[in-house]
Structure 1
């Protein structure tokens, strides 16, 4: 994991001790965080309710309700499992990786509290980052949890952290969302009731248990006590993972990271929503505060967008990435998201922009509430909020064919793609088979010739790309390494 600064507004809790240490080992951790007292099942639920603890992975589900559901299922099905979701597949997020890599024992404090209270058979830590996996393996050895807890390394994909995908991955299956929703609290790892929350949630549980509800709630808001951990990237001059009291103004966070709101700020990550720059400064960093301006805390990601880059071009890159990162197993992901990505790219490039803008709106709305998981809904939220916040920019693209600004790649949208498509135009006769095979990646222009994206082919589409190359009647299409330029 690339090292990112850790900062805080107000006294640190989750980040305590990290100013002077690359990683808190067992002894250093105990000097900063005294060992919390074990909890009974009833006290675990009561503590989470009194502390108003909600999940910090995106859905913000009440932790007490989740623990109670696991307890109820365990009475019928047997002893449960505790799972720490440390996958964090979003390119702009680092908060959970910081905890796993630098404060691993705080995460384990919360996980072991929950496991002891629920009588769990084991703790499973699902991670994708190699450094995080090594840190957690060391932490298990440092505190003698070998045999009672294990680390499972999963592929680095955007959708790996979806609860159903994570459970499937831990169970040895392909880590993609299941077609039919099954609650982990009922049937999770090994078919047993499973308490699944992300790394920050367990760290927050440990802090709550150590401080007690009253001291825990001495910062934050009455409805959302405590702190939140946020990753600030985008155009920030000083990217950082920041711990801040819930309810603090977003403007203070931006100032700390050396940036301004600009035309818009993305909050919640790529399944979150854009907030207009003029409204962002005074927006409170809480679920209630963000909802008031149409936003969501989501995965705890804040991405201001500077004025030097094209907003629609940035968003088009992200949506192409999201389309490539889908499981590709339901209609909205297999067909809808590629269509949405193609239309948004056309709008950003000023190609028949008025029609493209309408296609973007229609495709986004058609993707909502139809997927096997929340990926299409989150992508649609991202796109529709962008069209609203950057309406003036969209109008410039429609009226003038663009806004005149380059696309600087401020929003991270990297993939593990290795190859890109290249066309020998002296051979291409416009048969269109490549567009049929690679729908959403390749489209036909108004003259009947393929429009080949400049971006590399997503890894999951490489086999289809090879098939398109093999089927090209004119032998005009080929795959080349992504770093190689056309001759």
Structure 2
């Protein structure tokens, strides 16, 4: 993970001791943070309710309700429980959880251990994708001598890996993609047991809440959203950073701290989030309530201002292409809708029949909503539609003139070095051979009349044909996956 600065607005809580660049070990952690007292399940629920603790991974679901659901399921089914820390953080623009996992891992384990003790859990499982985060958490488990009571599971670094169903599948040794049938981890999670699943920051917040007590915890923030919030500020910011700020702080103050202005627009909530105009962003506060009222979302705690030197539609098109490639490819909106969105955005940004591309964008964006196996199509649609609204003048210029005259600088991280590869679900493939007809010279049929898919990346000149083959496969057996070469990541 690339090192990123840590800054604070107001007193540090989660980021206490992170002034330098090093990792807080077990001894140093206990000097900074007291050992939380063990709680029973009803006491944990009461603590979370009084502190109004909500999940910090995107949905903002009340933590107390999650705990109660796990308790009820465990009692009803007469089963033991599991505690899962979601540390995958698949968003390219997010680093807050990785900072916690890599530099203050014991704060996360304090919260996870508190929950595990209250629930009588069999074990704590930490799901991660980042190598530094995995090593830090494994070392923390060793430092605390937790033994078999906690383990780290490495998962592939993809956008959808952090979806709750995909994470549970990955921990259970299956392919980490969202399940076709929606379920709840609180009912059947790891090994089919009732599972308490929340992200890394949530468990760190729980540890701080337990140490301070609800009254002191609520001294900062707003009455409805007490405490602090961790945000990753990147985009065109001159000083990108993970910032800890009290809930309710002005978003403009946050941008100033990181050397940026709202400019033409600010993306809040990440690539499943929404764009705010510069004018709206400057009068918005950092809270779920304020951002929702402004048309945005706190989401995964990502703030990306966009400077005036880059083409907004070109930036959005890069992200849409990445998001289409990162889907699970198991339902129509992901297999067909998202590639169509990405292609239309590229056409609009590149001036290729932009008027028709804009019309198609609006039509397809609304068609994919509510029809996917997970929230990925809905999130991408929200991202695209909000961009068309905030950058309406830019879109009109592209339609009228074929472009805006500005280059695409790659301000938004979208892993444009990603290589597309084709994969086959052999349980679905019936050997129709349509893919070989469409991709002549790249895909061939073997002696058993099944496709031979090349292991190397799909050539750029064949990407359109590859997407057509995926869309037209009668058995829905093909998918495109996006992978960034190791040398590109480093």
Instruction: Say whether the fold is shared (TM-score over 0.5).
Output: yes
* Counterpart in the other structure of 2:103: 102
In structure 2, what is the equivalent of residue 304 of structure 1? 305
Superposed displacement of residue 40, structure 1 = 0.7
Task: Report the RMSD for the aligned CA atoms in angstroms.
Answer: 2.4
CA shift for structure 1 position 465:
8.2
> Is the 1:17–1:32 contact (alpha carbons within 8 Å) kept by the matching residues of 2?
yes
- Counterpart in the other structure of 1:29: 29
Q: Is the 8 A contact 2:348 2:398 kept in 1?
A: yes
Deviation of the 1:20 alpha carbon: 3.2
Q: What secondary structure does 1:34 align onto?
A: coil
Which residue of 2 is the match for residue 246 of structure 1? 247
> In the TM superposition, what whole-angstrom CA distance separates every residue of 1:295-353 from its partner, at most 9, and x where no partner exists?
00000000000000000000000000000000000000000000010011111111111
Identify the residue that residue 135 of structure 1 maps to in structure 2. Answer: 136
CA gap 1:293/1:42 in 2 versus in 1, 3 angstroms: same
Counterpart for residue 340 of structure 1: 341
Structure-1 residue corresponding to 2:160: 159
Is contact 1:417-1:457 (8 Å) kept?
no
Across the two proteins, how many residue pairs are aligned to each other?
442
Q: Secondary structure at the match of 1:45?
A: helix
CA offsets, 1:223-262, max 9 Å, x none?
A: 0000000000000000000000001000000000001111
Offset of 1:456 from its aligned partner? 7.7
Is the Cα contact below 8 Å between 1:249 and 1:282 reproduced in 2? yes
Report if the CA contact (8 A) 1:332-1:370 is conserved.
yes
Per the alignment, do residues 269 and 108 of structure 1 end up closer, same or farther by CA in structure 2, a change over 3 Å counting? same
Superposition deviation, residue 434 in structure 1: 9.2
Q: Are 1:295 and 2:296 matched, yes or no?
A: yes
Provide TM-score, normalisation by structure 2: 0.87
CA gap 1:393/1:13 in 2 versus in 1, 3 angstroms: same
Name the CA distance, whole Å, in 1 between partners of 2:437 and 2:416.
Answer: 22
Name the structure 1 match of 2:314. Answer: 313
Tell me the equivalent position of 2:145. 144
Structure 1 residues 64 and 465, CA, compared in 2 at 3 Å: closer, same or farther?
closer
The Cα of 1:420 is off from its aligned counterpart by: 9.7
Q: How much does 1:76 deviate?
A: 2.3
Q: Helix, strand or coil for the counterpart of 2:148?
A: coil
Tell me the distance in 1 between the aligned counterparts of 2:74 and 2:469: 48
State the alpha-carbon separation in 2 of the partners of residues 419 and 63 from structure 1: 38
Partner of 1:384: 385
Quote the Cα distance in structure 2 between the aligned partners of 1:146 and 1:232: 36
SS in 1 for 2:197: strand
* Mapped partners of 2:436, 2:411: distance in 1: 31
Provide the rounded CA distance (Å) in 2 between the counterparts of 1:383 and 1:20: 38
The CA distance in 2 between the partners of 1:254 and 1:456, in whole Å, is 40
Q: SS in structure 2 opposite 1:304?
A: strand
CA distance in 1, matches of 2:312, 2:458: 21
* Structure 1 residues 418 and 335: CA distance shift in structure 2, 3 A: closer
Say if 2:381 is the partner of 1:409.
Answer: no
Structure 2 SS opposite 1:160: helix
Map of 1:43 onto structure 2? 43
Q: State the match for 2:220 in structure 1.
A: 219
SS of 1:317's equivalent in the other structure is helix
Task: With the length of structure 1 as denominator, give the TM-score of the two structures.
Answer: 0.87
Change (3 A) 1:46 1:377: same
Aligned to 2:396: 395
CA distance in structure 1 between the aligned counterparts of 2:468 and 2:438, rounded to whole angstroms: 13
Distance change in 2, residues 1:16/1:263 (3 Å): same
Query: Using a 3 Å threshold, how does the CA distance of structure 1 residues 419 and 80 change in structure 2: closer, same or farther?
Result: closer
SS of the aligned residue for 2:126 comes to: strand
- Do 2:435 and 2:469's aligned partners in 1 also have CA atoms closer than 8 Å? no
Q: Structure 1 pair 385/463, CA: closer, same or farther in 2 (3 Å)?
A: closer
- More divergent stretch after superposition (13-22 vs 376-385): 13-22
Contact 1:417 1:456 in 2 (8 A): no
Structure 1 gaps, min length 5: 422-431, 439-454, 469-480, 483-487
Report SS of the residue matched to 1:329.
coil
Supply the distance in 2 between the matched residues of 1:457 and 1:245 (Cα, whole angstroms): 48
Q: Kindly indicate whether the alpha-carbon contact (under 8 Å) linking 2:438 and 2:469 is maintained by their aligned counterparts in 1.
A: no
Deviations along 1:389-447, one digit per CA (max 9) or x if unpaired, are: 000000000111110000000000006734799xxxxxxxxxx9899569xxxxxxxxx
CA deviation profile, 1:265-319 (whole Å, cap 9, x unmatched): 0000000000000111120000111011100000000000000000000000000
The Cα of 1:113 is off from its aligned counterpart by 0.2
- Does the aligned pair in 2 maintain the 1:264–1:275 contact within 8 Å? yes
Give 2:120's aligned residue. Answer: 119
Query: In 2, are the aligned partners of 1:316 and 1:344 still within 8 Å (CA)?
Result: yes
Can you list the C-alpha shifts for 1:120-144, whole angstroms capped at 9, x where unaligned? 0000000000000000000000001
Matches within 5 A, 1:9-24: 9-20=9-20, 22-24=22-24
Q: Aligned partners of 2:412 and 2:312: how far apart in 1? A: 10
